[in-house]
Amino acid sequence: MAIAPPPSNGGKKQFNKNQIQKRNRVLSARNIRTEAVIASAKANKKDGSNDLSEGGTMLNVGQFISSRQFEIKELQLAMHRSKVSGSTRVFQDLPRRLRRRTASHNVKRIPKRMRNRALREMMKNDQEKTILKTSSSRHGLTAKALYKAKMSVKLLRLASTSTSMKLALPPKVNASANGVRQKIRTLQALIKKSRAPCSRVKKLNNSMGSYDNITTNKLAQVPHGRQKYMKRQHVFAWLPTHIWNAKRSHMMKRWGYQIPYSATQKCFKMTHRIGGNVSTSDGTLCMDSSFMGTIVVRATDAKTEKLRDLIAKITSNRAIAPKYYNSNKVFSGLFTDPLTMLVLGPGEIIWCNHNLLLLRVHPAMFQKVFEILAVREFGFKVEDSRFAIGSITINGAESLSSLTSIIRSSTKSESFEQLKLISNVTDQNILPKDMSFSFKAIDPRHFGAPKKVKQNPKEVTIDKIMELQANTPKNEICETLEALCSTRERTTSYKNQQTMKQIHKRRRDMTKKGEHVSKNAIIPFDEKKDPEIPIYIYKRESTNDWVILMPWFWHLPFWYQLNKIPRKYNIGLRQFQQLQFEHKKLYFPDDYPFTETGFHENSYYKEEVNQYSCRASRLRRRFKSLGDLHKTKIPACKYEFGCHSSCDWRALQILRNGLLFLTKGNKKLILIDAKKTSDFVSDDPFDISNYSEPERKIESLNDLVEYTNDFQYEEGVPISRVPVELVDSHLVKEKVIRTQSDLVKQPLKVTAVTCKSVERGHIKDNARIYEIPKDQLSYWKQKAKGVYSSNGKLLHDEETPLPEVYNLIGFVTSGTYDLGVGSSTGTGFVDHGFYKHTDSTHVLVRNVQTCKYRLATIEKIII
């Protein structure tokens, strides 16, 4: 018997019961209710007005919106319902940054306001719920003894199983003769039964083990923290927030620290929106900046002038100006070596008083600055406070509002009242420059949840904001700053520092006794037993952010409370570099090739990271397939000039100095001398005692390129041999290259510029900057105005004339798309001689491993 075919459904898909229910829910969510159309709107309005003007041609917007208020609200509700209609489980409603794989069955990973709904969903689906259990306290063995016992078990097992270790031991020493198995059992039993009660020894003056790690005139030891993680911190120290950041950020091991490099989630647009000076900034960006090296310098009254003179030499007489020396304003600028007068890098100086100052420098240059200050002949007391003073950097319109939500002063403070006054100001540009606040705060964990300070908006006026600088409480700020820099005061702040368990118990006891506990469960401050924390808050004009300095072991409590605030996001060095890039500021060390650290970063570290041979074969660009990179083919320059994976400043120095050497005396530049090969000049070859390597004779551009290939970068180049030197002003003497040895000895003077793409094109790191040849000016001027085809469209990818090799004038150290400008931009350096004599602002930019030249404009960056 034949089987009857299934009934035809016209080719449409048949939905089951659950699919039909979900489909109806989505359709219902997208349904927008409307009011019935009124035939005569004029007759139904009380004032007799109409939506149209008297002439009947223009719409009265206000009246129309009020009459269609119901439809507008329904449209907004429909948009909201449609957005959440597809979410069936509670963990699907969470923001993307709060979603975890365990959130579907672990109610502890879901916000409290959603846990009841999550439990109902789990009960409905017969799903088991997981609740985290806190580990019980360990007694008996200490952490160090427990670690040694576990390591002993591992080593004994390895010695009894490894053949190589057995052969290395004497013949009579074996596992059976020495009772290895019995020793392993004994150690395992000791580990298992190490729960006997023992007297806990209090460390210092608190139960959290906080201490002040500081040394005088020598480098401090790295704190290793818990015994469990000691092995991981032998070379690179952990920041206070390392465990928190390791779960949410990509970490980077540099300069002796493990630093958060970038947030795990994509946050390029979010960083621009919140951290930039734009109206859409409605949150806070937060970064642990405790990796910045902190130095405290003390001098006696007899050596005050000597300290002032030393700081004047380091900062080129800038940090001793009255606005810094006689007040608590923060100096931010370049540090120089007082012996060689060469730039070391950027840093900050805060004068607490005439005999006491605090310095903050990048960890890459910390040791050099510390050695300069700790010279014995000066006789200063130089304290390494890297692991004694921590810092947090915040940015965004809600920075001060977030900060005042977790901070309260322990006593009445004029500085804290000023901070409260401007806490709700979202436009940071209207605030006075170099603002700072300093007071003693209470433990931020006294707050059950962050609570914003109550501030009447009418009290905040422009006049009051402008009066803040004139009415700064200098005495209070000086006293708190001195307490922050004092070892005794920092140790006092750790006195009676409580654990979270003790704080929760204190809050429960207050509730049981019927004492006053506010809605946010704030524990009142007790002067007799609660600690006071000296903190210092200041604004940095160069980076447009706020820095909070505090004792090292108070950093983590402030960090955890700060992360409870809504619209707060963590960032790393990559996002900080993005903000510097968008504000047209240099980022250390990537954009500082005129320093020893920056030159090493450009010429060695980035070259090692961008190794061509380490890439997969499918990602390697074939240089032969690129075509011609320059107008004239130079035999010595087959592909890229200099290193193709970094900014080759040594090659640029030799090229620009060599052009002056070849054209001195109005000589004509010879590109290639086809009549001869390379010549070498050397001493008497038969005199072995005075023998030296022959030196290449430079008579043409090809010889000059060969000369650059002879030099290879050496790691650890001293600052005196850095090939480039920064120049800020036009009042610089003309450079004269007399001998061939001056090509390498005389550094190339460069100017910092920002490049903006005129047309299409994406400027990348290590891009080459060329000057426009004189015979091509007319073409590129027309290109700047736009070259159109017959159908009216712009021509972008047409063939363009190529410049010569000697037209290279600089490199791009940082290049990407700038959301603030709306086009691709780059930060770089060009030859100061070119920038001084040119009248045009247009240059050519070419990315590495490409043959396409793009037109761009340059603008000088003021440092």
Give the pLDDT band of residue 31 (cuts 50, 70, 90): confident
Query: Which is more confidently placed, 859 or 106?
Result: 859
Residue pair 740/834 in contact by the 8 Å Cβ criterion: no
Work out the mean pLDDT of the chain and round it to a whole number.
Answer: 83
Residue 167 placed within a domain: yes
Distance from C-alpha of 52 to C-alpha of 61, rounded to nearest angstrom = 9
For the chain, give the number of residues.
863
Show the domain range for 673: 626-860
Q: Are 348 and 264 in contact (CB under 8 A)?
A: no
| Distance separating alpha carbons of residues 538 and 542, to the nearest angstrom | 12
Average pLDDT over every residue of 571-575:
96
H/E run at residue 352: strand 343-353
Q: How confident is the model at residue 799 (pLDDT cuts 50, 70, 90)?
A: confident
d(CA 661, CA 656): 9
Assess whether pLDDT exceeds 90 at residue 99.
Answer: no
- Please choose, from the candidates 634, 632, 805, 630, the residue with its C-alpha nearest in 3D space to the C-alpha of residue 703: 634
Please return the burial class of 583, using the count of CB atoms within 10 Å of its CB with bins 0-12, 13-18 and 19+.
Answer: middle
- Digit-coded pLDDT (tens) for 410-437: 999 999 999 999 998 888 888 888 889 9
What three-state secondary structure class fits 304?
helix
Strand blocks (E) in 133-184: none
Residue 715: partners with Cβ closer than 8 Å, 6 or more residues away: 600, 604
Per-residue pLDDT band for 216 (boundaries 50, 70, 90) equals: very high
Domain count, the chain: 5
Whole-number Å distance between alpha carbons of 779 and 626: 23
Task: Let me know whether 429 and 541 are in one domain.
Answer: yes
Q: Note the pLDDT of residue 196.
A: 47
Q: Which residue has the higher pLDDT, 238 or 741?
A: 238
Amino acid at 605: Y
Helix (H) or strand (E) holding 160: helix 143-161
Those residues with Cβ within 8 angstroms of residue 719's Cβ, 6 or more apart along the chain or in another chain: 337, 340, 342, 344, 595, 596
In a domain, 604, yes or no: no
Instruction: Please tell me the distance from the alpha carbon of residue 145 to that of residue 639, in angstroms, as a whole number.
Output: 61
pLDDT for position 679: 64
| Dist. CA 572–CA 252, nearest whole Å | 10
Amino acid at 12: K
Answer whether residue 745 is part of any domain: yes
Most confident of the ranges 320-324, 359-363, 608-612: 359-363
- Which residues make beta-bridge pairs with 750? 726, 831
Nearest of 292, 293, 348 to residue 315 by alpha carbon: 348
Model confidence band, residue 743 (pLDDT cutoffs 50, 70, 90):
confident
Give the confidence band of 39 by pLDDT, cuts at 50, 70, 90: very low
Residue 796 vs residues 270, 272, 517, 815, 857: alpha-carbon distances, Å: 31, 28, 68, 20, 17
Residue 604 per-residue DSSP state: I
Q: DSSP for 230-289?
A: GGGGSSSEEPTTHHHHHTTEEEEEETTEEEEEEESS--HHHHHHHHSSSTT--SEEEEE-
Domain boundary among 384, 404, 422: 384
Q: What is the pLDDT of residue 203?
A: 57
Phi, psi of 220 (to 5 degrees): -80, 155
Residue whose structure tokens are 């608590």: 328
* Distance from the Cα of residue 408 to its chain's centroid: 28
Cα–Cα distance for residue pair 677/159, rounded to 1 Å: 66
Residues with Cβ within 8 Å of residue 732, at least 6 apart in sequence:
749, 832, 836
Q: Tell me, what's the pLDDT at 483?
A: 96
Judgement on whether residues 705 and 834 belong to the same structural domain of the protein = yes
What are the structure tokens assigned to 723, written together?
A: 């090939």
Question: Of 1-10, 264-273, 739-748, which gets the smallest average pLDDT?
Answer: 1-10
Residue 399 amino acid letter: S
Amino acid 367 reads: Q
Do 699 and 766 lie in one domain? The reply is yes
- pLDDT of 538 above 60: yes
- Per-residue pLDDT of 221-236, as tens digits, reads 888 777 778 888 888 9
Burial of 114 (0-12, 13-18, 19+ CB in 10 A): middle
- 575 and 656, same structural domain? no
Mapping DSSP to helix (H, G, I), strand (E, B) and coil, where does residue 549 land? Answer: strand
List, for residues 520-533, the tens digit of each pLDDT value: 578 889 998 999 99
The CA-to-CA distance between both ends of the chain, in Å, stands at 93
Instruction: Please check whether residue 73 lies inside any domain of the structure.
Output: no
Contact between 555 and 208 (Cβ < 8 Å): no
Do 450 and 539 share a structural domain?
yes
709 and 808 inside one domain: yes
Q: What is the pLDDT of residue 620?
A: 65
Within a 13 Å sphere around the CA of 30, how many CA atoms are in the beta-carbon half?
8
Residue with tokens 């670690």: 147
Q: Are residues 247 and 147 in the same domain?
A: no
Same domain membership, residue 503 and residue 377: no
Q: Which CATH number covers residue 315? A: 3.30.70.1400
What pLDDT does residue 712 have?
Answer: 62
Q: Using alpha carbons only, give the angle 348, 350, 352 rounded to the nearest 5 degrees.
A: 165
Residue 255 confidence (pLDDT):
94
Respond yes or no on whether the N-terminal peptide bond of residue 589 is cis (omega within 30° of 0): yes
Burial-class residue 9 by CB neighbours within 10 Å (0-12, 13-18, 19+). Answer: exposed
849 Cβ partners below 8 Å, 6+ apart? 621, 623, 626, 640, 644
State the CATH number of the domain containing residue 540. Answer: 3.30.1360.120
Q: Are 570 and 245 in contact (CB under 8 A)?
A: yes
What is the mean pLDDT of the segment spanning 68-90? 76
Does position 595 have pLDDT exceeding 90, yes or no? yes
Own/partner long-range contacts of 117-125 (Cβ < 8 Å, ≥24 apart): 117/90, 118/89, 118/90, 118/91, 121/89, 121/90
**Residue 695: its H or E element:** strand 695-697
Whole-number pLDDT of residue 319: 93
Most confident of 64-78, 277-291, 713-727: 277-291
Q: What angle do CA 283, 286, 287 make, to 5 degrees?
A: 160
Q: In 663-772, which residue ranges form alpha helices assigned H by DSSP?
A: 701-709, 742-745
For residues 123 and 157, membership in a common domain is answered with no
Burial code (b: 16+ CB inside 10 Å, e: under 16) for 759-783 equals: bebebbbbbbbbbbbeebeeebeeb
Closest CA to 356 of 477, 198, 500: 477
Indicate which CATH number applies to the domain containing 645.
Answer: 2.40.30.110
User: pLDDT tens digits for 821-841?
Assistant: 889 999 999 999 999 888 889
Q: Higher pLDDT residue, 496 or 721?
A: 496
In this structure, the answer to whether residues 502 and 452 fall within a common structural domain is yes
Amino acid 688: pLDDT: 45
Rg (the chain; Cα; Å): 34
Q: 769 with 667, same domain? A: yes
* Residue 837 three-state SS: helix
Distance from C-alpha of 798 to C-alpha of 809, rounded to nearest angstrom: 24
- Nearest residue to 214 via CA among 296, 300, 307, 298: 296
pLDDT digits (tens, 9 = 90+) for 708-738: 887 765 555 565 688 999 987 666 677 777 7
Does 197 fall in a domain? no
Residue 831 · residue 800 · CB < 8 Å:
no
Task: Select from 384, 399, 426 the last residue of a domain.
Answer: 384
Sign of the CA dihedral with 38 first, then 40, 41, and 43 last: negative
Confidence at 606, pLDDT banded by 50, 70, 90: confident
DSSP assignment of 174-222: -HHHHTHHHHHHHHHHHHHTTTS--PPPPBTTBSS------EESSPPPP
**Which pLDDT band, with edges at 50, 70 and 90, does 180 fall under?**
confident
Q: What is the DSSP letter of 39?
A: S
If you average pLDDT over residues 96-100, what whole number do you get?
Answer: 67
The confidence band for 327, taking pLDDT boundaries of 50, 70 and 90, is confident
Query: Which residue is it, tokens 């006054």?
Result: 421
458 Cβ contact list (under 8 Å, min separation 6): none
Q: Which of 156-160, 360-364, 803-807 has the lowest mean pLDDT?
A: 156-160
Residue 140: band (very low, low, confident or very high) from pLDDT cuts 50, 70, 90: low
3-state secondary structure of 379: coil
The 8-class DSSP code of residue 603 comes to I
Amino acid (one-letter) located at 651: A
Cα of 852 vs its chain's centroid, Å: 32
Share of the chain above pLDDT 90, in %: 42
Residue pointed to by tokens 């642990």 = 288
Structure tokens at 621: 């660009």
Let me know if residue 423 belongs to a domain. yes
Q: Structure tokens of 274?
A: 């919140």
The answer to the question of residue 48 being in a domain is no
Strand pairing class (381-384; 293-298): antiparallel
**pLDDT grade, residue 188 (50/70/90)?**
confident
Sheet strands (E) in 819-861: 823-831, 842-846, 854-860
pLDDT at 378: 84
The residue from 384, 418, 437 where one domain ends is 384
With respect to residue 600, please indicate whether it lies within any of the assigned structural domains: no
Overall average pLDDT of the 395-423 stretch: 93
pLDDT band at 246 (very low <50, low <70, confident <90, very high): very high
Domain co-membership, 704 together with 803: yes
Q: Which pLDDT band holds residue 102 (cuts at 50, 70, 90)?
A: low
Tens of pLDDT, residues 553-562 = 999 999 999 9
Reported in sequence order, the residue ranges of 523-589 that DSSP labels E, i.e. its strands, are 533-540, 545-551, 568-570
The whole-number pLDDT of residue 514 equals 66
